[in-house]
Amino acid sequence: MHDNSESAAVSALNEIESLSAKCLGAGMLGNVLEWYDFGLYGFLAPLIGARFFPSSNPIASLLGAYGGFAIGFAMRPLGGAILGHVGDRLGRRAILVLSVLMMGTATMLIGVLPTYSEVGVWAPVLLIAVRLFQGLSVGGEFTGSVSYLIETAPARWRGLAGSFANIGSELGYILSSALAAATLIALDRHSGHAWIWRLPFLAGGLLACLSWLFLRRLSRVGYEPPRSTRVHHELPLQQAFKQSRRLMVLTMIFTWGYGVLNYLTLVFLPTFASKFGNVNAGTALTINSALQLGALALVPLSGWLTDRFIRRRVLLLAVFALVCLTAVTFFAVAGESPARFGVAQASLIVLLFLVEGAAPAMLAEQFSSRYRISGYSLAFNVGIGFGGGTAPFIATALIAPFGKLAGAGYMVVCALLSFAALYLMSDRSREPLS
Residue 250 has pLDDT above 70, yes or no: yes
Phi, psi of 221 (to 5 degrees): -120, 10
245-263 helix and 406-424 helix, angle to the nearest 10 degrees: 150
Read off the amino acid at residue 104.
G
Within-domain flag for 255: yes
As a whole number, mean pLDDT of residues 129-146 equals 82
Q: Which residue blocks in 276-427 are alpha helix, DSSP H? A: 281-295, 298-308, 312-334, 338-364, 372-382, 391-402, 406-424
Amino acid 304: pLDDT? 95
Q: What is the pLDDT of residues 263-318, one digit of tens each?
A: 899 888 988 898 888 888 888 888 988 898 889 999 999 999 999 999 999 999 99
**Which alpha helices (DSSP H) does 116-235 contain, by range?**
116-119, 122-152, 158-189, 199-215
pLDDT at res. 117? 82
pLDDT at site 16: 45
Please provide the size of the chain in residues: 434
How confident is the model at residue 10, as a pLDDT?
A: 38
State which residues form the domain around 38: 21-221+235-424
pLDDT at 221 over 70: no
CB 83 within 8 A of CB 139: yes
Most confident of 11-25, 45-59, 98-112, 350-364: 350-364
Task: Round to whole Å and give the CA distance between 269 and 307.
Answer: 32
**Do the Cβ atoms of 39 and 262 come closer than 8 Å?**
no
Stretch (H or E) spanning 389? none
Burial of residue 185 (number of CB atoms within 10 Å: 0-12, 13-18, 19+): middle
On whether the CB atoms of residues 177 and 289 are closer than 8 A, the answer is yes
The whole-angstrom distance between residue 101's C-alpha and the CA centroid of its chain comes to 18
Give which of 218, 90, 103, 162 is closest to 367, Cα–Cα: 162
Sign of CA dihedral 104, 108, 109, 111: positive
pLDDT at 351: 97
Residue 396 lies in a domain: yes
Q: Which residue has the higher pLDDT, 418 or 35?
A: 418
Residues 1-20, mean pLDDT to the nearest whole number: 48
Asked if 201 and 52 count as a contact pair (C-beta separation under 8 A), the reply is no
Does residue 302 fall inside a structural domain?
yes
Give the confidence band of 5 by pLDDT, cuts at 50, 70, 90: very low
The pLDDT of residue 275 is 85
- State pTM to two decimals: 0.80
Q: Which amino acid is at 148?
A: Y
Among 72-76, 131-135, 321-325, the least confident range: 72-76
Please choose, from the candidates 306, 433, 308, 418, the residue with its C-alpha nearest in 3D space to the C-alpha of residue 364. 433
Mean per-residue pLDDT of the chain:
83
pLDDT score at 256: 95
Please report whether residue 5 resides in a domain.
no
Task: Look at residue 338 and tell me whether its pLDDT is greater than 60.
Answer: yes
SS3 421: helix
Inter-residue contact 335 to 281 (CB < 8 Å): no
The span from the CA of 299 to the CA of 179, in Å, is: 22
**What pLDDT digit, counting tens, does each position of 400-409 carry?**
888 889 999 9
Identify whether 228 is part of a domain.
no
Pairwise CA distance, residues 205 & 326, whole Å? 39
Per-residue confidence (pLDDT) for residue 14, from 0 to 100 = 47
Question: How many structural domains is the chain composed of?
Answer: 1
Quick count: other Cβ atoms within 10 Å of Cβ 100?
A: 27
Min mean pLDDT across 42-46, 120-124, 157-161, 366-370 is at 42-46
Lowest mean pLDDT among 31-40, 124-133, 349-358, 387-396: 31-40
> What pLDDT, on the 0 to 100 scale, is given for residue 228?
47
What is residue 220's predicted lDDT score, i.e. its pLDDT?
54
Q: How confident is the model at residue 231 (pLDDT cuts 50, 70, 90)?
A: low
Name every residue whose Cβ is closer than 8 Å to that of residue 420 and which is 6 or more positions away in sequence: 253
What pLDDT is stored for residue 355 in this prediction?
96
Phi/psi-derived region of residue 224, left when phi > 0, alpha when psi is between -120 and 50, beta in every other case: beta
Maximum Cα–Cα distance across the chain? 78
pLDDT in tens, 145-196: 888 888 888 888 999 999 999 898 888 878 887 888 888 888 777 766 678 8
Predicted pLDDT at 192: 61
Q: How far is the C-alpha of 270 from the C-alpha of 268, rounded, in Å?
A: 6
pLDDT of residue 58: 67
Rg of the chain on CA atoms, in Å:
21
pLDDT of residue 233: 67
What percentage of residues in the chain have a pLDDT greater than 90? 28
pLDDT digits (tens, 9 = 90+) for 53-63: 776 666 666 67
- Winning range, highest mean pLDDT, from 108-112, 123-127, 413-417: 413-417
**What pLDDT is stored for residue 1 in this prediction?**
46
Q: What are the DSSP calls for 329-348, one per residue?
A: HHHHHHTT-HHHHHHHHHHH
pLDDT higher for 120 or 252?
252
Task: Identify whether 433 is part of a domain.
Answer: no
CATH value at residue 103 = 1.20.1250.20
Residue 340 in any domain: the answer is yes
Angle between helix 281-295 and 158-189 (nearest 10): 160
